[in-house]
Amino acid sequence: MEAAIKEVTVQDLKAIEVLKDVPDDQLQWFIDESEHKVLAEGDFFAKVNDPIVHTNIILRGRVEFYRLQNNNKTTISDLYAGSITGLLPFSRAKNVFANAVCIEETEVLMLPKEKLRDLIHLHYELTQVLVHVMASRIKEFAEMEQQNEKMMALGKLSAGLAHELNNPASAIVRGSASLEKHLQCLPDAFKQLISIRLDPADIDSVNSKIHKALDNKERPVLTMMERADREDEITDWLDQQENIKNSYDMAENFVEFGLTIQDLEEIKSYIPDGKLSPLLIWINNSFTTERMVSEISIASKRISDLVNSVKNFTHMDGGGDKVFADIRTGIKNTMIMLNHKVKKANITVVEDFDENLPPVKAMIGELNQVWTNLIDNATDALENTENPVLTLKTRQDREFVCVSVIDNGAGIQEEIKNKIFDPFFTTKQIGQGTGLGLDVVNRIVKQHKGTISVTSEPGKTEFIVCFPING
């Protein structure tokens, strides 16, 4: 919607800092050749993916650029009076990268795209200023988008890591509550146990049998059928004894710790008639306590391993210098960070690592960003793929180490293959990527004096990163 507006003068443009030294005749030309508009609050200044067809000078007002990410509005930048935006000399931008809406009534001069050639050919100083504006804009936008890319990557990693931590943390909470409840029952079991009068030799024999079962770390791995058969056998044996309750629960524990019917018969031989139940209850309680403590210990170790992986992934103990390290460790830590996403997509991971690969001199934290972007992109590429497979491969090629990230997805279209490393180029939907992931990868690889290449066909896409072993 347009409103009545006063005529724009050269002095109005000279009040803008970047235009103050531009010759008057060039500014007058810009005014004469431009459309002069006033947009109301709430009007769209531009819409995402619209073609860029004007060079715009905002005279007053405020324009907000934003994107929708997962249906949430994310503000990218605000432009105020004096801002220059849109098509600029020698820019390769063709489409608007985000929605732009007027936050308040906004007055703008809009030079049509058709006049840009005349601008460049006839007005050197004005062109020079606009090129400088473009360079500054690219720098600011690149920094902003790189930060956005990092935040998006951090969000993905955080979500996956939170899920990975939640499972063992929940197991610890459940196990602790169950253990507390279980320990409350022990005094009664102990009271029944001491009512049995046993010879010291018999006590030692029973105690030795229990310790042997608890200390046995090489228990046979049973199939579900084998386990079920043994549990049924022991349940039947327990049911034949006098006053044995919860025989099925006991059988499950006894099979888990490797006790056989022969062992139970031997234990029974040490016990007076009618007194077997209190001892078996005590043995079962000991096994149950051991299982609960073991589950809590395993869950705690899982959390500790995850935290240690995060520390190694971010390379907290290192500075910005290159150090010698096992490249496989960084890749494995990256996989731990992305494990939730990989599992959720039912992706089969194949690790084809050269076990004789020497330590590599590199900035480990930086390289982990490379593996994160490549593996994350590969998992995205495997969406809707039947039997998805992600292959991670390392090998030595003379004085270089090469890492391959391979997926069996649909492949990269030939017409965009040469664009994928360009800044801001992305095939993902708006809000799902900024197009800086592979640009970051390319920059880090070059920083390590390396190369990155890609080969792709339907069913196999392979990114190959190579860099010197000695940095």
Where along the chain do its domains lie? 10-122, 142-314, 317-468
Cα distance between residue 219 and residue 212, in whole Å? 11
Cα distance between residue 338 and residue 347, in whole Å? 12
- As given in the structure block, the two tokens for residue 199 are 């010879």
Beta strands in 255-385, from DSSP E residues, in sequence order: 323-325, 348-352, 360-362
- As given in the structure block, the two tokens for residue 73 are 């509005």
Cα distance between residue 266 and residue 286, in whole Å? 18
CATH class, domain 317-468, is alpha beta
∠ CA 342-348-349 to the nearest 5 degrees?
80
**Residues whose CB is less than 8 angstroms from the CB of residue 99 and which lie 6 or more positions away in sequence, other chains included:** 44, 46, 47, 48, 65, 66, 67, 68
Following DSSP, what letter does each residue of 183-239 receive, concatenated? HTTHHHHHHHHHTS---HHHHHHHHHHHHHHHH---PPP--HHHHHHHHHHHHHHHH
Q: CA nearest 337: which of 312, 362, 359, 300?
A: 312
pLDDT at position 426: 57
pLDDT at position 382: 92
Cα distance between residue 423 and residue 142, in whole Å? 8
Which parts of the chain register pLDDT below 50? 1-3, 316-317, 319, 424-425, 429-436
Cα distance between residue 279 and residue 254, in whole Å? 13
pLDDT at position 135: 78
Q: By the 8 A CB rule, do 469 and 383 touch?
A: no
- As given in the structure block, the two tokens for residue 267 are 């234990």
* 3-class DSSP string for 361-392: EECHHHHHHHHHHHHHHHHHHCCCCCCCEEEE
pLDDT at position 60: 93
pLDDT at position 208: 79
Strands 99-112 and 72-80: unpaired
**Residues whose CB is less than 8 angstroms from the CB of residue 61 and which lie 6 or more positions away in sequence, other chains included:** 39, 80, 81, 102, 103, 104, 105, 106, 107, 108
Cα distance between residue 145 and residue 77, in whole Å? 11
∠ CA 396-400-401 to the nearest 5 degrees?
50
pLDDT at position 436: 44
Please provide the CATH number assigned to the domain covering 10-122: 2.60.120.10
Q: By the 8 A CB rule, do 438 and 380 touch?
A: no
Q: CA nearest 89: which of 111, 106, 108?
A: 111
Cα distance between residue 63 and residue 77, in whole Å? 8
Cα distance between residue 165 and residue 170, in whole Å? 9
- As given in the structure block, the two tokens for residue 12 are 């109005």
Q: By the 8 A CB rule, do 31 and 7 touch?
A: no
